[in-house]
Amino acid sequence: MSLIRKSDAALMALIVITLIATVILAFADPDFFTLVFAAEDGPVEYATAVFLLVASGVLASHALSLWRGGRRGAALLTCVYALMFFMAAGEEVSWGQRIIGWESGEFFQQHNKQNETNLHNLIVADVHLTKSLFGPVLTICILLYLVGLPLLYPKGGRIAALADRMAVPVPWLKHAAIALVASIIIALLDVDRKWEVYELIFSLLVVSIFLLPQNPSKTR
């Protein structure tokens, strides 16, 4: 078994362990789940940031391979994808603000729900971006990517051609199944900050997808 496949197997195992631990803690000790396990600056949040950063690194390595292979357009698009995940990792921990302890600027103190330097907690014109954009819209986009694309891609056609042209790493059906199962489990739990675990599952899934997509020859 290659190193990439071993890494993928480890990621799948980690997803299962995370979901089992989530269910056990949510029922056995909800306070520990909320105040420690899934707390802000807790293990789930930091693990999410780490794996989002790993996903960014994997994409960056693919961009370099595409560039060397002469696929400059695909390389530039992949750089954009890598940048998006790098920003997501930074946003997850407010760009290290609470770790380093620096003060937010005046703009973020006035317009950020938590007075932190990040975009996802901004309130602009009384609109909370997390609830209006980063919440429902992003969730729909993620589910379409994780569930819709792996079902449509094998059929070929315009969607498959567009995904290949844009060097989009296509998930496998196993990723779709895990995303659906995780969505159901998290939705059924009655505990605060449960969606932090959902973000961790997503970060683990995308690393797996980027390492071994359905269309590896088109994405690296």
Q: What is the pLDDT of residues 154-194, one digit of tens each?
A: 998 999 999 999 999 999 999 999 999 999 999 999 999 99
- On whether residue 149 sits in a domain, the answer given is no
Instruction: Find the distance separating the first CA and the last CA of the chain, reported in whole Å.
Output: 20
pTM, two decimal places: 0.89
Return the half-sphere exposure (C-beta side, CA atoms, 13 A cut-off) of residue 29: 8
User: What are the C-alpha distances in Å from 111 to residues 33, 105, 117, 127?
Assistant: 29, 10, 10, 10
- On whether residue 148 sits in a domain, the answer given is no
Range of the domain at 38: 3-92+173-219
- On whether residue 32 sits in a domain, the answer given is yes
Positive or negative CA dihedral for 202, 204, 205, 207?
positive
Nearest partner of 200 among 24, 38, 59, judged by Cα: 38
The total domain count for the chain is 1
With bands split at pLDDT 50, 70 and 90, how would you rate the model's confidence at 140? Answer: confident
Percent of the chain topping pLDDT 70: 83
With residue 137 as reference, give the H or E element that holds it.
helix 136-143
- On whether residue 133 sits in a domain, the answer given is no
- On whether residue 47 sits in a domain, the answer given is yes
What does the mean pLDDT of the chain come to? Answer: 88
Q: Which residue has the higher pLDDT, 112 or 72?
A: 72
For residue 141, the model assigns a pLDDT of 85
**Number of H-type helices and E-type strands within the chain:** 13, 2
For residue 109, the model assigns a pLDDT of 60
Q: Does residue 67 register a pLDDT over 70? A: yes
Contact partners, residue 200, CB within 8 Å, separation at least 6: 18, 44, 47, 48, 51
- On whether residue 29 sits in a domain, the answer given is yes
Helix axes 173-188, 136-143, angle to 10 degrees: 140
- On whether residue 153 sits in a domain, the answer given is no
- On whether residue 115 sits in a domain, the answer given is no
